[in-house]
Structures are given as structure tokens and as C-alpha cells.
């Protein structure tokens, strides 16, 4: 029993080992992209554009950070974008009807967490593969959101609430501060807590994790609930940033979140990756999208470029794993 336990829990990836090397390469890639864009576009290094990149990267990160924990368990959550849309619309309605931003924020977080918990129940209790369960949930949430909104758009929220997504503090956008807070919390949770180590163990070897006494089902429920709650948090940021909510607000959010996770080095096969890597992945993806906008690349080509980047990230992950084996 002792040996199995060690095999199951041993690997939390050290920040000073292979993960650190991978993160170093990704940071170099981000710097290289910055250098290229600085040469190609005069406005790339402007303060306004840099702050815009940080704000956009933070929005992607909020969704992708929770998704990272799911992918670490070798799972996937395809419903995060639809979760953001439903949570934003419900939170916006609560704010409109009660005039209380605090109640709206709590409602958005709760809605996101409940959706994540339902995903976890489908994966653990019903034993539905996460890809299928969350893909079905995506359609359920889309249907609910379009039915709930009935073609209407919510807009005009209190000025104090709009500061969350649009305000500045000491020259930096407020979402960047929130990013730093949740980056610290996520990194500490994944790297320094027993629960975080157990999540790595489940992704690396679920059978050994179960035999070693790790409550796999409960940990998976936790992971999916956290992913949903982070989607709920993202919905609040988007609601505040856009000052409006409509049913299609989340349609373009899922692919960039998955891309950020994979570009950041988290393996689709589980057990490998870091929340900090996801932040770097979100930054790289945002830089690429920002560069295409500055260089006037057609919007029709941008999803294609994102898709190619995701394919390359998965291919490199598979190649690295085969070489390690």
C-alpha cells in the first residue's frame, strides 16, 4: 500500500524541474512573438495596446485556469463558454432586478459552480466520458440561455460594477490584479497542497490513485466545480467589461481557453502541466490574436490560425511524451 501511495502521489511537478524548462521555452516564445510584432507594427509597444493585451489575457486565463485542473485529471470541459454565457445572463438579470451588484456576482459564481458540479456528477456517478458529458452540457446550456433571454439583451449596469472589468488601479486594469491573485491561488493549490498532488496523481494513473486511497470521485467533483466557478467568475468580468449580456456571449470563448491550456504545456493525457503555464499560454494566444488584429489579418483567418496552434501544441505534447517513455 505504501509503494502504491508513493507512485500515485509522487509527481506533483516541481517548479524547478522539467516543468520549469518547458515554461522557460514558452516564455522565450512569448518574447519572440513580442519582438516580431514590435518590428511589424508601430503601435504594438504602445501603453494602451500592452494594457489591452494584459486585460484580454486575463479574461482567457480566468476560464482556462479552472479548465487546467480538469485537463490535469485527463478530462475536458467543453461547456465553459456556454457556462459563461448562462451565468452572465442570470447574474445580469439579478443585478437589474435587485440593483445589487454583490448579489449578482454571487449568483453568477453559484450558477457557474452548479453547472461544473453537474458536469462532475455526469463524469463520476454516471461514468460518462468528460468529452461527451460536457459536449452535451454545452448544448443544454446554449438552449437554456437562448430560451431564457428570448432574443433580448441586458445592458446598463451600475458604474461601480463596471469598474471590475473596465476600471484601472495604479495604472493597471483591475482584471490584471484579479489575474495575479488567482494565479497565485491556483499555483499554490496545484503545487503545494495534498489535494493538488492528488489531482496530478489521478491524471497520471487513476488506477494507482484509487488503490492508494485517494477519493477519486470526490476530487473529480471538486475539479469540475472549480472549473465551473471560474467560468462564473469570467462571466462577471465579461458582464462588467461589456456592460451588456446576451445569449451568444460565450460562443467564441471555449476554443481559446482550451488553446491556452494546451499551449501552456498541460497534457491532454493528464498528470502534466501547471496553472502558471496556462497563464503563459493565454498570454501567447492573446499576443498572436492581437498581432493579427494590428496587422489587419482577416477575422476569417484568425480561427484557422488558432486551430493550427492548438494542433501543434497537442502534437508537441504527444512527441514529448513518447520521447520521455
pLDDT tens for 268-297 read 888 888 999 999 999 999 999 999 999 888
Q: Could you tell me which of 235, 252, 253 has the C-alpha nearest to residue 244?
A: 235
Q: Is residue 47 part of a domain?
A: no
Per-chain mean pLDDT for the chain: 89
pLDDT tens for 50-77 read 999 999 999 899 999 999 999 999 999 9
How many structural domains are present in the chain? 1
Find out whether 144 and 227 touch, Cβ atoms under 8 Å. no
Q: Is residue 252 part of a domain?
A: yes
Q: What is the pLDDT of residue 2?
A: 42
Which three three-digit cell numbers place residue 216? Answer: 477519486
Q: Is residue 37 part of a domain?
A: no
Q: Is residue 91 part of a domain?
A: yes
d(CA 127, CA 129): 6
Q: Could you tell me which of 216, 198, 172 has the C-alpha nearest to residue 55?
A: 172
Q: Report whether pLDDT(252) > 90.
A: no
d(CA 177, CA 181): 6
Q: What is the pLDDT of residue 299?
A: 81
Q: Report whether pLDDT(266) > 70.
A: yes
Q: What is the pLDDT of residue 309?
A: 79
Q: Report whether pLDDT(255) > 70.
A: yes
Q: Is residue 225 part of a domain?
A: yes
First to last CA, the chain: 25
Q: What is the pLDDT of residue 4?
A: 43
Q: Is residue 6 part of a domain?
A: no
pLDDT tens for 115-148 read 999 999 999 999 999 999 999 999 999 999 999 9
Q: Report whether pLDDT(256) > 70.
A: yes
Q: Report whether pLDDT(9) > 60.
A: no
d(CA 152, CA 245): 9
Q: Is residue 177 part of a domain?
A: yes
Q: What is the CATH number of the domain that holds 139?
A: 1.10.3470
d(CA 195, CA 215): 10
Domain encompassing residue 251: 54-323
Q: Is residue 79 part of a domain?
A: yes
Amino acid at each position: 500500500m505504501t509503494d502504491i501511495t508513493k507512485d500515485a502521489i509522487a509527481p506533483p511537478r516541481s517548479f524547478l524541474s522539467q516543468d520549469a524548462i518547458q515554461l522557460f521555452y514558452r516564455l522565450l516564445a512569448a518574447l519572440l512573438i513580442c519582438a516580431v510584432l514590435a518590428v511589424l507594427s508601430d503601435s504594438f509597444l504602445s501603453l494602451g495596446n500592452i494594457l489591452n493585451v494584459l486585460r484580454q489575457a486575463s479574461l482567457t486565463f480566468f476560464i482556462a485556469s479552472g479548465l487546467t485542473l480538469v485537463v490535469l485529471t485527463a478530462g475536458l470541459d467543453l461547456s465553459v463558454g456556454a457556462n459563461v454565457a448562462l451565468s452572465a445572463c442570470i447574474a445580469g438579470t439579478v443585478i437589474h432586478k435587485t440593483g445589487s451588484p454583490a448579489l449578482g456576482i454571487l449568483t453568477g459564481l453559484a450558477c457557474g459552480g452548479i453547472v461544473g458540479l453537474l458536469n462532475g456528477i455526469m463524469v463520476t456517478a454516471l461514468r460518462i466520458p468528460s468529452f461527451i458529458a460536457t459536449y452535451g452540457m454545452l448544448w443544454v446550456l446554449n438552449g437554456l440561455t437562448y430560451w431564457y433571454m428570448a432574443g433580448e439583451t441586458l445592458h446598463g449596469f451600475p458604474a461601480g460594477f463596471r469598474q471590475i472589468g473596465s476600471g484601472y488601479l495604479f495604472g493597471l486594469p483591475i482584471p490584471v490584479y484579479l489575474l495575479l491573485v488567482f494565479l497565485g491561488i491556483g499555483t499554490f493549490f496545484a503545487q503545494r497542497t495534498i489535494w493538488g498532488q492528488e489531482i496530478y496523481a489521478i491524471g497520471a494513473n487513476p488506477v494507482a490513485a484509487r488503490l492508494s486511497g485517494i477519493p477519486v470521485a470526490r476530487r473529480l467533483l471538486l475539479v469540475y466545480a472549480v472549473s465551473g466557478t471560474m467560468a462564473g467568475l469570467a462571466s462577471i468580468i465579461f458582464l462588467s467589461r461589456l456592460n451588456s449580456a446576451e445569449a451568444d456571449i460565450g460562443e467564441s470563448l471555449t476554443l481559446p481557453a482550451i488553446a491556452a491550456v494546451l499551449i501552456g504545456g498541460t497534457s491532454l493525457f493528464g498528470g502534466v502541466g501547471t496553472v502558471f503555464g496556462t497563464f503563459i499560454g493565454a498570454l501567447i494566444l492573446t499576443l498572436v490574436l492581437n498581432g493579427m488584429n494590428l496587422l489587419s489579418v482577416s477575422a476569417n483567418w484568425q480561427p484557422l490560425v488558432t486551430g493550427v496552434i492548438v494542433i501543434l501544441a497537442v502534437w508537441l505534447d504527444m512527441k514529448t511524451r513518447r520521447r520521455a517513455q
